[in-house]
Amino acid sequence: MLKLDEMIKELQQMLTPARFRHSINTMETCIRLAEKYGADVDKAAIAGLIHDCAKDVDKDAVLPMCEKYGIIVDEIMRSQPKLLHGDIGAHMAKELFGVDDPQILAAVADHTLGRPGMDVISSIVFIADYIEPGREFEGVGEIRRAAEESLEKAIVVGINSTIRHVLRKGQLLHPRSVMTRNWALQKLKEKEQGHQP
């Protein structure tokens, strides 16, 4: 696996300046959240840095890349190929950066739609992508506050915000987002009832 500074240099060549800045901000937010929640800081940093490595892939290359990597594409993803950049990014991370850690690869793959049962690294990257300091959108303050309370609460509040945005735009809502929200909400309720630490 490449060293972090080597990955940074590679990403700077691959991404637009705005996307590169977002990636650095996400990495720094992942480090802070990993320290707060007792997660592996190095894994969180790498996953946060490279999470959008496929975001600037040409839209005409997305579906052929999915075929190449054996990524299953449903109709919603086919109509909104940007939803696939996490899955493609996990494969690119292996090829370009030599990443083979399953936690890092899962965090990259799942940062867009989430996934029920996400581990702490995936949850951190999912949230950091929403709340990094460069992000400014309606409701981001609420997600940032939730992230100080628990990862589960931040996931629920973040996905609620995404659902409102998707509904306003009249777009298709991917069921995995809903399943991830419901999973996080259930975990949050269990914690509040004292069933889990």
- The count of structural domains within the chain is 1
Considering the domain boundaries, does residue 188 fall inside one? yes
Q: Which domain holds residue 12?
A: 4-192
pLDDT, mean of residues 64-90: 97
Work out the number of other CB atoms within 10 angstroms of the CB of residue 81.
18
CB 177 within 8 A of CB 80: no
Distance (Å, rounded) from C-alpha 92 to C-alpha 98?
Answer: 9
pLDDT of res. 165: 95
Q: What is the pLDDT of residues 8-34, one digit of tens each?
A: 999 999 999 999 999 999 999 999 999
Domain at 166, CATH number: 1.10.3210.10
Considering the domain boundaries, does residue 27 fall inside one? yes
- pTM as predicted: 0.96
Considering the domain boundaries, does residue 197 fall inside one? no
